[in-house]
């Protein structure tokens, strides 16, 4: 993450090895393709601490690589108190993550919290990106489908809101 400038977007899931690093990689790719890299700070974190320092799950990396995203350099970390001031948008993958974030977040920053798919303007009945960890390859593909759609919608929403 580069300095304090730019619109800070933090994606959050449970382990920071499947969904949120995927969202970080896919959203960063969309932002770069739009030539908006310097306008954003993009990162991800987990609410749990089981996988600290680990790269994304091999199943996540494989699925992402097949669609042209390199998640290899990312390393899992846990959300920390400073994140709530550092990032303007703190976007949870599911309702459990959002509930945990609300518990950890200082009152003055709760307005920064949302579900990723709600912030993306998704019209899906469910606004959750389901945890694929115990699933099969189809669950990882579904995560990527939802995140690619969500990243597109999120970038459109933020471009409009910030006049980019
Ligand atoms: P993520 O998936 O929250 O999308 O990174 C998970 C990764 C690990 C675990 C659960 C979910 N786990 O229980 O270790």
Sign of CA pseudo-dihedral 125, 47, 64, 161: positive
Q: What angle do CA 20, 15, 7 make, to 5 degrees?
A: 30
Among the listed residues 13, 18, 105, 112, the single catalytic one is: 13
User: Nearest to residue 94, comparing CAs of 6, 158, 15?
Assistant: 15
Name the residue at shortest CA distance from atom 6 of ligand 1. 15
Atom of ligand 1 nearest to the CA of 21: 5
pLDDT digits (tens, 9 = 90+) for 40-62: 999 999 999 999 999 999 999 99
Instruction: Calculate how far, in angstroms, residue 10's C-alpha sits from the geometric centre of ligand 1.
Output: 17
Give exposure, 23-58, as e/b (b: 16+ Cβ within 10 Å).
bbbbbbbbbeeeebeeebbbbbbbbbeebeeebbbe
The single residue of 43, 83, 100, 131 carrying the catalytic annotation is: 131
The predicted-structure confidence for 148-164, as pLDDT tens digits, reads as follows 999 999 999 999 999 99
pLDDT category of residue 5 using cuts at 50, 70 and 90: confident
What predicted TM-score, i.e. pTM, was given to this entire model? 0.97
The pLDDT-based confidence of 3 (bands split at 50, 70, 90) is very low
| Residue 112 appears among annotated catalytic residues | no
The binding-site residues of ligand 1, defined as CB within 6 angstroms of any ligand atom, are 13-19, 50, 131, 133
């Amino acid at each position: 993450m580069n300095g304090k400038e730019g619109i800070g977007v933090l994606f959050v899931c449970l382990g920071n090895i499947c969904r949120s690093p995927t969202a970080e990689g896919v959203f960063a790719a969309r932002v770069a393709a739009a030539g908006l890299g310097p306008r954003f700070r993009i990162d991800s974190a987990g609410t749990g601490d089981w996988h600290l320092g680990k790269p994304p799950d091999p199943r996540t990396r494989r699925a992402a690589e097949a669609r042209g995203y390199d998640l290899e350099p990312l390393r899992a970390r846990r959300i920390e108190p400073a994140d709530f001031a550092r990032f303007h948008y703190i976007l949870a993958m599911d309702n459990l993550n959002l509930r945990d974030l609300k518990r950890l977040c200082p009152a003055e920053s709760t307005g920064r919290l949302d579900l990723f798919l709600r912030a993306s303007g998704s019209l899906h009945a469910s606004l959750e990106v389901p945890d694929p960890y115990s699933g099969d390859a189809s669950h990882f593909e579904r995560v990527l489908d939802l995140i690619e759609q969500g990243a597109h919608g999120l970038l459109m929403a933020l471009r409009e809101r910030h006049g980019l």
